[in-house]
Chains A and B, each alone.
Chain A
Amino acid sequence: MRVFRDALAAFALTAMATVATAAPGLAETLLAGVAKTPPVSTPFVLVSYRGVLDRPLVVSGSLRWLGGDNMERDIAKPFKETAKIADGTITVQRGSSEVQRMPLARAPQAGAMLAAFRALLGGDVSALQKDFALSAQGSEARWVITLTPRTDALRRQLTSLVIDGRDREPRCLTMTDANGDSSITLVGAMAEQGLRSAAPLESALAARCRNSGQ
């Protein structure tokens, strides 16, 4: 996990440095110290708040970054699903049913998530900056990075992706879709801690992400 944390710290600082255009030397120094040796994995808990649902949807499992544009997400509960992103294509296999494929270009949310992870873990901020504007707030101890789409095509799908972190570790990725739906993905230690309620309120979960004391 150390590699993971170092990488995240590097990402956070680089992002902040990029936005502030201050101390570019520091960002470079930090990035240089990042060991980019995938695969890296973390547990996750995804809580989706959808307009068509009357309660949040919770799934959990593990996320793995295999380097480059390759990522995998295994859902273990409440059903089994393996989703892979490779070569610009998403493949989803659920249970024993047929494998579904689709171009990554058609699922911008998944694309944003991948770009964020690539930047976090691989230190490749340039790929991220192609599609998103970055802004960072807070301190090294408690930080929030907000990704907003640069293109209209992306904006039609996605409003923002917010990453909350503490020290050198990200805790939550909050994604807000253009239609108002949102999802919060807990990663790292937050995911290990798990949820405190079967159907957490969005506001409560968001507060928990922000509140680094908990």
Chain B
Amino acid sequence: MRRGERAAIWFVWLALIAGLGWGVALHLKISSDLRDFVPPARTADQKLLLDEIGKGPGSRLLLLAISGAPQAQLADLSRGLEDALAQDSAFEHVVNGGNDLAEIASDLLPYRYLLSPTLDSHRLDATFLHTQLQQRVEDLSSPAASMLEPWLKRDPTLETLKLARLWAPPRQPKLVDGVWFSDRDEALLVAETRAAGFDPGAQANAIASLQKHFATLPGAAKAKLVISGPGWFGVQASRHTRAEADRFGVITTIGFILMLLLAYRSAVPIVVTALPLLSGAVVGFALLALIFGHAHGITVAFGFTLLGVAQEYPLRVFSHRRIGVATSQCVRELWPLLATAIVSVCIAYLAFFASGVAGLQQLAVFTIGGLVVAGLCTRWLVPLVVPAAKRDMAATSGLAGVWHFLAHLPRPRWLPWLVAVAGIVVVVFAPGKVWQNDLSALTPIPKAELQRDARLRAALGAPDVRYLLLMRALTAEGVLGLSERLAPQMQQLVDRHAVDGYELPSRYLPSAATQRARQAKLPDARDLQAALQQAMQGLPFRAGVFAPFVADVEAARKLTPLMPEKFEQSPLGARLESMLVQQGDGWVGLGTLSGVNDPAAFVALMKETRGAVHLLDLKGSTESLIVAYRQRILIALGIAALLLCAAVTLALRSPRRALHVLGPMTLATLLVLVVLRACGIPLSLFHLVSLTLAAGLGLHYALFFERRTGDEREDLRTLHATLVCVASALLVFGVLALSSVPVLRAIGLTVALGVAFHFMLSVLMAPADHLRRKG
């Protein structure tokens, strides 16, 4: 084939990848919904966690602090930001201390006598009304008179104001210039996003929008906006991880190119090696888009890692080309072994497909599809785009020396057994915890940010993100009643400092029973009129001025109690909506807590209510889900290992030969575990996936070393290919092992160690006679 034709095919291939990639990018939705990722919930708490995760009242809060300017300017910025966010559909609501709660409550004005606790302790009789009216006279001389006056005729007992106060945040920072300020003179705001707290994509959008609003405010350039909260941390973590991955990506790409130049003395491998892998990736994504329509972000990350095996396919081809022999011929010779590797791995990944977890099924589809396509591209497309070989890699200087050295390493027969036994002992008996169940430990938040979050949270009295108080009942009314009965006990816990603060759903909406009881205490129009007349004696109010009040009370007597559905349509509805949810046949109330000092104190509460009320530890529940997920992965991996053994044995048609391939793989994997355990590193899901990738690479090394070619030069080419593959894997993952991001470090360290061990053991455990034939 001529140079022009090859270039044309190369361009078409690249264009196809780009085109398919573009199409997939348009259609595949990358979700961050944890439900795709973890197995179906088993306990009611897990179910609630999955339904409500991130939707919960606390986790959607962003805490904002503005500093770095004079107070008056900060207050203006706070008000400006509050106005902007109030208009922004990404935010449910925003508070900065200056909000007019009386206005919010006006929506529920007709229900005020049913919602306010006044009637629990008072009646609208002459005595009570007289005291109230007396106070109103005094109010009319106060600086705030104009604020009260519009309400006075309808609401002389100021129930609206009482509700506004009741619904205001329980603990508030100090007010300066009408807005909240911290002790460090930062203007404070709390914004509630509409998006779930653990939806990094939507949170990133909301945060970007927030920052844009802030930047356009006059005087914002000099001030500093600090954001905190679960959403912010998630966005920060992924941004930090991506930035570091990108940075290392540049380093490794340059290193990789230099290494290819050094190994092949040609630029051709540089422009070709990436294509099969990229083709596999876009086809994998296309399959996900076709079959599932969406993929979980973590699945994609895992899948890409596992697909890394395909990088080896074209490298093997380049190392095995010979002068005067068509590339297609060389590939054809190589193909049985390559196909064995691909098919074995694919069969193994079928176990993931059978796991029943959507995230793992996606992983299987992506990886199997990707590997098969990368293999097929290597087999049939790579020969079409590469020119004839000008160099035989077997002639690489020093290669024969390396072979001689490797072939004459001592190979005591007892070594594998010793390694195996010692390894198992270390893995089983090493101190320290085996598993890392806390996913957040892999993307840690800088300590300074955590401390700042705690400080802002305390200043704003914002709820704890870790604990929720669950109240279960058959009906919403039942939950509200339970919540009302719970309130005094919660107050006791606050008095005992077991918890700093709490917020229950009944704070917003009393149960219908309570509302009816209050309603029953409302006097009829005639009685009220008479009481009012008596109460007004000696006071300067104009006669008949309270007619709207009498009419409102009369109307309130006939109201049906306010139900959650109706309350949820009010401006405050979102608060209740997030605190009162239907689950299965029943209803759950979610009380938020701040500053949980003594989780054990809630045990008594749980006993008293016979389990209807209990403390949900979100961290604990998430971890239990992670454990369940890991169990599925481990089972899938176990089955995958068995399938792999069967496939390799079948392909090699000899258990003895299979042992030469599978033995080094198993031992190398064990050795990686030994190192990790000995270093006290708890294993996470990322370690497991990395181990799997390393094993996939190890399979290649072992298969190729085990191959009997009877041709000394072909053996040297195999060694060349393996050395290039090992070096490139060590380069990519070794650099990653230096990362400051634990998730990248986990992947890098595990794969780099794995590659090194797999290579060494493949060499040491290859049939000695076959290696030493030359020496």
Contacts and interface: CB of A to CB of B under 8 A. Distances in A.
Interface of A: 46, 48, 50-55, 57, 59, 73, 75, 79, 81, 83, 85, 87-90, 92, 94, 100-110, 113, 157-158, 177, 179, 181
A89 B138 CA distance: 20
A103 B95 CA distance: 14
A81 to B, nearest CB: 7
Given A52-B541, A102-B147, A103-B98, A92 B142 contact: yes
Contacts of A90: 143-144
A101 B146 CA distance: 15
B540 A54 contact: yes
Interface in B57-104: 71, 75, 97-98, 100
B143 A177 contact: no
Contacts of B71: 87
Give the 7 A-B CB pairs with smallest separation, nearest first.
Answer: A103-B178, A88-B177, A110-B143, A105-B178, A87-B176, A89-B175, A54-B542
B250 interface: no
Contact of B147 (A85, A89, A106): A106
B167 to A, nearest CB: 16
29 contacts: A48-B140, A50-B145, A50-B149, A51-B149, A52-B149, A52-B153, A53-B540, A54-B541, A57-B141, A57-B540, A75-B141, A83-B143, A87-B175, A88-B179, A89-B176, A90-B144, A92-B144, A100-B144, A103-B98, A103-B177, A103-B178, A104-B178, A105-B177, A105-B178, A108-B146, A109-B145, A109-B146, A113-B143, A181-B146
Contact of B143 (A50, A85, A87, A158): A85
B325 interface: no
Contacts of A88: 75, 175-179
B74 to A, nearest CB: 11
Given A87-B176, A103-B98, A179-B149, A92 B541 contact: no
Interface string B160-176: 00000000000000111
A54 B97 CA distance: 36
A57 B137 contact: yes
B178 A53 contact: no
Interface in B175-225: 175-179
Nearest to B175: A89
Nearest to B71: A87
Nearest to A75: B141
Contacts of B545: 52
A104 B541 contact: no
A54 B144 contact: no
Interface of B: 71, 75, 97-98, 100, 137-138, 140-147, 149-150, 152-153, 174-179, 540-543, 545
Contacts of A52: 140, 149, 152-153, 541-542, 545
Most interface-central of A46, A81, A88, A105 (chain B CB within 10 A): A88
Contact of B175 (A57, A100, A101, A110): A101
B542 A53 contact: yes
B99 to A, nearest CB: 9
A48 B146 CA distance: 11
Given A88-B178, A89-B175, A92-B142, A107 B541 contact: no
Contacts of A157: 146
Nearest to B545: A52
A100 B138 CA distance: 13
A177 B148 CA distance: 13
A57 B143 contact: no
Given A94-B138, A103-B97, A177 B177 contact: no
A59 B143 contact: no
Contacts of B144: 90, 92, 100, 102, 106-107, 110
Contacts of A105: 98, 177-178
B674 to A, nearest CB: 63
Most interface-central of A85, A101, A106, A158 (chain B CB within 10 A): A106
Contacts of A109: 143, 145-146
Contacts of A89: 175-178
Given A55-B540, A109-B145, A103 B140 contact: no
B265 to A, nearest CB: 75
A132 B177 CA distance: 19
Contacts of A110: 143-144
A53 B145 contact: no
B179 A103 contact: yes
Given A52-B153, A106-B147, A46 B175 contact: no
Most interface-central of B71, B97, B146 (chain A CB within 10 A): B146
A92 B141 CA distance: 11
Contacts of B141: 46, 48, 57, 59, 75, 81
A103 B175 contact: yes
A106 B149 contact: no
Nearest to B97: A103
Contacts of B174: 87
Nearest to A109: B146
B546 to A, nearest CB: 9
B150 to A, nearest CB: 8
Contact of B142 (A81, A158, A177): A81
B143 A107 contact: yes
A173 B71 CA distance: 30
A205 to B, nearest CB: 16
B178 A92 contact: no
Contacts of B153: 52
A199 to B, nearest CB: 9
A144 B542 CA distance: 33
Contacts of A107: 143-144, 146-147
B82 to A, nearest CB: 12
A104 B177 contact: yes
A90 B175 CA distance: 10
A19 to B, nearest CB: 26
Contacts of A46: 141
A62 B144 CA distance: 18
A104 B138 CA distance: 19
A53 B133 CA distance: 12
Given A81-B141, A177-B146, 10 more contacts: A51-B149, A53-B140, A81-B138, A81-B142, A87-B176, A103-B179, A107-B147, A113-B143, A179-B149, A181-B149
A112 B100 CA distance: 20
Most interface-central of B176, B178, B545 (chain A CB within 10 A): B178
A53 B542 CA distance: 5
A181 to B, nearest CB: 7
Nearest to B152: A52
B253 to A, nearest CB: 56
A106 to B, nearest CB: 6
Contact of A87 (B138, B146, B149, B177): B177
Nearest to B143: A110
Given A52-B149, A81-B142, A106 B178 contact: yes
A57 B140 contact: yes
Contacts of B541: 52-54
B436 to A, nearest CB: 48
A79 to B, nearest CB: 6
B20 to A, nearest CB: 57
Most interface-central of B100, B144, B177 (chain A CB within 10 A): B144
A108 B100 CA distance: 14
B163 to A, nearest CB: 16
Nearest to B178: A103
Contacts of A53: 137, 140, 540-542
B189 to A, nearest CB: 14
Nearest to B165: A100
Nearest to B150: A179
Contacts of B176: 87-89
A48 B142 CA distance: 10
Contact of B140 (A50, A104, A108): A50
B173 to A, nearest CB: 12
Contacts of A85: 143
Most interface-central of A48, A50, A177 (chain B CB within 10 A): A50
A180 to B, nearest CB: 11
